[in-house]
Amino acid sequence: GAVVSQHPSRVICKSGTSVKIECRSLDFQATTMFWYRQFPKQSLMLMATSNEGSKATYEQGVEKDKFLINHASLTLSTLTVTSAHPEDSSFYICSARDPGGPSYEQYFGPGTRLTVT
Amino acid sequence: SQELEQSPQSLIVQEGKNLTINCTSSKTLYGLYWYKQKYGEGLIFLMMLQKGGEEKSHEKITAKLDEKKQQSSLHITASQPSHAGIYLCGVSNSGNTGKLIFGQGTTLQVKP
């Protein structure tokens, strides 16, 4: 099946700094990718839809200036957590659909664990 | 907005036992996904059900969709330690934009 990778897998940063997380579709092109976050022992919450060549669409309650999304190519979307604070510590996961595969199937990256100290 | 509720929230079973996880939707289901997640890792796609009454199986895992009840069940037969993890059900919104809404997850432990 299609593969989605994320980098880094873990990151620790100091409060006030910015962190960039990459999501790549390795063997297919994705015009749309999705970003989720997951707190410990909780489910995944959709943060935003990343659209190649256009602005991301954010879910209600997600600060677009806080979580900057850039989808500059058909295989790469980035999520930048700006001025990170401890409450931003979470597990961030991206997903993408393979347009060449079953229309319903989504592939998830392995996730990035962000810890803000 | 649509919500999914999973039950039970956690489950501990002895190896070899069967188990069932339920996922109930607050609205009509237009497609129900089941994923498995190991803690701190990404999601593994198990199966997707699209029609009422549909049933799919993969190895020892079977999922059914009861459209009238707005519910899906995931059944594992003869559980093994490798089945341990978090099981998540998810639905795509009616516009099929690809966005998924997930249930809160069911944590499964299988004791050898």
| pLDDT tens column, A81-107 | 999 999 999 999 999 987 776 666 788
Q: Which residues of B touch A49 (CB under 8 A)?
A: 97-99
- In chain A, residues with a C-beta closer than 8 Å to the C-beta of B92 are 104
Q: Which two tokens stand for residue B111?
A: 């004791």
Torsion over CA: B59, A112, A43, B25 (sign): negative
pLDDT at position A1 is 65
Contact A104 B50 (CB under 8 A): yes
Please, what is the Cα angle at B46 between A62 and B102, to 5 degrees?
A: 25
Nearest CA-CA partner of A75 in A94, A91, A62: A94
Q: How far is CA A72 from CA A16, A24, A65, B34, in A?
A: 25, 11, 18, 30
With an 8 Å Cβ cutoff, are A93 and B42 in contact?
yes
Kindly report, residue by residue over B36-63, the tens digit of the pLDDT. 998 888 899 898 898 888 899 988 999 9
Average pLDDT of the segment spanning A8-37: 94
pLDDT given at position A104: 64
* Neighbouring-strand partners of residue A10: A113
Q: What percent of chain B has pLDDT over 90?
A: 62
Pairing of strands A112-116, A10-13: parallel
Distance CA A34, CA B19 (A): 32
Residue A109 has pLDDT above 60, yes or no: yes
Determine the residue of chain A that is closest to B31 in CA distance: A104
pLDDT at B41 (0 to 100):
87
Nearest to B3 by CA among B24, B22, B31, B20: B24
- Output the pLDDT for position A105: 73
B10: nearest CA partner in chain A: A41
Which pLDDT value is given to residue A75? Answer: 93
What is the nearest CA distance from A25 to chain B, expressed in angstroms? Answer: 14
Question: Best interface-test mutation with A: which of B2, B30, B43, B89 has the largest number of A CBs within 10 A?
Answer: B43
Average pLDDT over residues B6-27: 96
User: Which of B103, B87, B77 lies closest to B13, judged by CA?
Assistant: B77
Average pLDDT over residues A18-26: 96
Give one word for A54, left, alpha or beta, with left for phi > 0 and alpha for psi -120 to 50: beta
Q: How far is A101 from chain B (nearest CA, A)?
A: 13
Q: Return mean pLDDT, chain A.
A: 91
Contacts for B16 with CB less than 8 Å, ≥ 6 apart: B78, B79, B80
Task: Kindly state the tokens that stand for B50.
Answer: 């699209």
Chain B residues inside the 8 Å CB shell of A6: 42
Asked if A107 and A2 touch (Cβ cutoff 8 Å), the reply is: yes
- Residue B110's alpha-carbon distances to A31, A81, B16, B34, B86, in angstroms, are 39, 37, 9, 19, 12
Cα four-point dihedral sign A62, A66, A72, A78: negative
Whether the link from the prior residue into A86 is cis, omega within 30° of 0, is no
Q: Is the peptide bond before B8 cis (omega within 30 degrees of 0)?
A: yes
CA nearest to B91 within chain A: A104
Nearest to B41 among A45, A107, A111 (CB): A111
